[in-house]
Every structure is written in structure tokens, then in C-alpha cells.
Amino acid sequence: MAEYVYSRQLLTANEQRTARASRFKIEDGRCQGVGNVKGVAAEFNFSVDPEAAFVVLSGFQCRIKQIGWEVCQNSWLPWDWYEDWVSTPGKRGRLVKAVTVGYVGRLKNAAHPGFRACDLLVMAAPPNEDVVAKSEGVYACVELRGEVTRGQMVCDWRHKLQKKPNVDVVLELNMDRARLMFEQMLL
């Protein structure tokens, strides 16, 4: 409850900023029922602080671009590309390799087919809309009261609630374009 109060106070204190925001992006939530929290179909960040997630989805007047867990799960780059990428000469290549080594080890131990970079994808999408291959505007909220659904992002795909869309859910990414951006980032 304290997190919700703090989040509400934060948004209220920054009401002018949230009203002026022309875009806001999140790499949280899930919209197809596949979560990354054991036993629950919620995304980790939403599940640990659903009140804060609720405040974010309801507190901005602009549409939120959401790149959810399922899209990140399906958006990966081959391991040989990753090894070439982090071998880029210079400080940036060494930094990315050092920062990702533990994460990459866990992915490889889990036999993941390639490098998945959720945070990088979120940073890449809004300034470069060509990274987003497919998205759909929907009204979305966060379930706060459910015994097994608490923390789940609920999307009104069929517009039954008749509410104005507040989230642009990214459904597919152009990984060729993302790959090029990641490569340019290290040059």
C-alpha cells in the first residue's frame, strides 16, 4: 500500500509533467497471458508492485508504448551475432560485454536460442518507430484485487469497456532494424 501512495503522490506532484508528456514507454507487463513469475501469468515488475503499475497506466494523459514480456521473449538475436557485437573494438564493446556476461550465461544455461535484450528494445523503439513492426492501441489496466490475477496487465482487445485506448501494445518488432541500431550504438 505504501508503494501505491508514494506512486500516487509522485504522479500528483508531477501532474503538469504527466499532462505535458507526449510519449511514455514501458518494458513491463504482459498482454497475452504469458508471464515470467513462477506460477502466475504476470510480468515480474507488475507483480511485485501492481499499485505502482496501476498508477502509471492510469496517470498519464498520453498513450503509453508498452513492449511486454511476450514480445521480448520472441525477439532475440543469434548467439554468433551477439559474440561479434560484444567483440566490437573499444570501450563500448567491452562495457556491453561486461554488463551482459552474467545475464548471457543464464540465457545460455537455459538453452535460449539467442540473445534477448528487453531493455535495449524498449530504448530503441520510440525514437525509431521503424523498429516497431506491429502495434495496437487498447485500453489497459492492472488487476489489483484478484487472488491469482493480481498484478496482471489486462487489455481490452475487443473494446468491451468502451474506454479510450491508453496503451499502444507493441506486438512485433523489426529485429533487423534493432540489430542495426545495436551495432551503431557501439561504434
Q: Give the integer Cα–Cα distance in Å for 57 and 115.
A: 29
Residue 110 lies in a domain: no
Residue 84 lies in a domain: no
Residue 89 lies in a domain: no
- In contact, 82 and 114? CB cutoff 8 Å: yes
pLDDT in tens, 102-153: 999 999 999 999 999 888 888 777 666 788 999 999 999 888 887 777 888 8
How many structural domains comprise the chain?
1
Q: Please state the rounded mean pLDDT for residues 73-102.
A: 95
Residue 131 lies in a domain: yes
Residue 99 lies in a domain: no
Q: Please state the rounded mean pLDDT for residues 66-91.
A: 91
Residue 100 CB coordination number (10 Å): 17
Identify the band that residue 36 occupies on the pLDDT scale cut at 50, 70 and 90. Answer: low
> In sequence order, what are the residues at sequence separation of 6 or more whose Cβ sits closer than 8 angstroms to the Cβ of residue 107?
115, 116
Which CATH number characterizes residue 171's domain?
Answer: 3.90.245.10
Q: Give the integer Cα–Cα distance in Å for 171 and 67.
A: 8
Global confidence as pTM? 0.76
Q: Please state the rounded mean pLDDT for residues 89-93.
A: 95
Residue 29 lies in a domain: yes
Domain with 7, as residue range(s), is: 2-11+23-75+122-185
Residue 100 lies in a domain: no
Q: Would the pLDDT of 62 be above 60?
A: yes
Identify the band that residue 48 occupies on the pLDDT scale cut at 50, 70 and 90. Answer: confident
Residue 86 lies in a domain: no
Identify the band that residue 88 occupies on the pLDDT scale cut at 50, 70 and 90. Answer: very high
Q: Give the integer Cα–Cα distance in Å for 32 and 50.
A: 17
